[in-house]
């Protein structure tokens, strides 16, 4: 009890914007149960900077990227998933901070885009995986971004595949609600350049967003916070008129400092965006995609694979060139 009173006091000092966002300062929310967002000491930019201290780019990457709160992504590379999520959330809980996790293992992941293809081998495998993901978090506070691209990347899918995906996302939200009661789940809703807001609102409703805390926008993309705020509000207008509810949303601002140049896969000349915080037009602005990690074998990341850390790309994002 003392810990949560102390954490709530720290919240008022560290997260003043929480008072302007309805629901954020409730004593039973994951925000109020912690004293700030978690900085992952084992992120890819932190690991690179530690391994290359004499590199002329290391200080800029360490101070401007590695020192900021970012999400950690979990997928089929994560080993025993409950152990992996449990260790990450446990490390954050030990220092009274709020971790952000990304669940990225839906079957037929990135089926239309292709650069991040993969995911669980079957629907049953995914149901087992996501249940263990949630169990690893348990009652500790956390934020989860659920399956980036899953609702935007459907143009090449059959109706049966879409129905199966919606069923899996509905079940995933149920698993978090049952097994990780202090986790806020944001079901990913793509970005403003992908689908019209009314279409995305329908996709969200079909995938169970009513049961989730909210939805996420702009994950791994570059569109401005203003563009995403307008899109999020338009989605909520449609959710309200068609389904009778609205939801909070979070925006990935990790790489949107200059906005988009029209390309989504490792475009040149991008810049870091507003660091992770509460408020700022959305309920949260989050660094979901790690700056410097490749989008795939494309653009300034030619020859890389999705998720590979590219120090030169990271360094240039610090300065915007």
Residues with active-site annotation: 149
Which residues lie below 8 Å from residue 244, measured CB to CB, with a gap of 6+? none
What is the per-residue burial (b if ≥16 Cβ within 10 Å, else e) of 134-149?
A: bbbbbebbbbbbbbbb
Question: CA 167, 172, 177: angle at the middle one, nearest 5?
Answer: 125
What span, in angstroms and rounded, lies between the C-alpha atoms of 173 and 146? 8
Residue 218, Ramachandran bin (φ over 0: left; ψ between -120 and 50: alpha; else beta) = left
The answer to whether 150 touches 106, Cβ cutoff 8 Å, is yes
Residue 61, Ramachandran bin (φ over 0: left; ψ between -120 and 50: alpha; else beta) = alpha
């Amino acid at each position: 009890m003392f810990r949560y009173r102390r954490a709530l006091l720290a919240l008022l000092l560290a997260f003043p914007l929480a008072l302007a966002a309805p629901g954020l300062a409730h004593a039973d929310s994951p925000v109020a149960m912690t004293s700030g967002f978690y900085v992952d000491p084992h992120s890819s930019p932190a690991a690179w900077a530690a391994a290359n201290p004499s590199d002329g780019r290391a200080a800029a990457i360490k101070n401007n990227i590695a020192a900021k709160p970012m999400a950690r992504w979990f997928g089929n590379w994560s080993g025993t998933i409950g152990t992996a999520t449990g260790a990450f959330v446990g490390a954050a809980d030990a220092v009274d901070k709020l971790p952000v996790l990304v669940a990225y293992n839906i079957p037929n992941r990135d089926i239309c885009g292709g650069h991040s293809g993969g995911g669980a081998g079957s629907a049953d495998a995914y149901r087992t995986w996501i249940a263990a993901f949630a169990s690893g978090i348990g009652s500790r506070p956390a934020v989860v971004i659920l399956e980036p691209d899953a609702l935007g990347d459907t143009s090449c899918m059959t109706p049966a595949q879409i129905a199966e995906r919606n069923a899996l996302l509905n079940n995933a939200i149920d698993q978090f609600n049952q097994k990780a009661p202090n986790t806020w789940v944001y079901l990913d809703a793509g970005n403003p350049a992908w689908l019209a807001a009314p279409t995305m609102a329908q996709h969200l409703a079909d995938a169970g967003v009513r049961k989730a805390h909210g939805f996420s926008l702009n994950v791994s993309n570059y569109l401005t916070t203003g563009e995403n705020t307008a899109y999020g509000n338009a989605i909520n207008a449609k959710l309200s008129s068609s389904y009778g509810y609205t939801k909070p949303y979070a925006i990935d601002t990790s790489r949107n400092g200059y906005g988009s140049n029209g390309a989504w896969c490792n475009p040149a000349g991008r810049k870091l965006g507003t660091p992770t915080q509460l408020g700022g037009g959305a309920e949260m602005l989050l660094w979901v995609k790690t700056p410097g990690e490749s989008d795939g074998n494309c653009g300034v990341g030619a020859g890389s694979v999705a998720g590979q850390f590219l120090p030169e790309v990271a360094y240039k994002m610090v300065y915007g060139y």
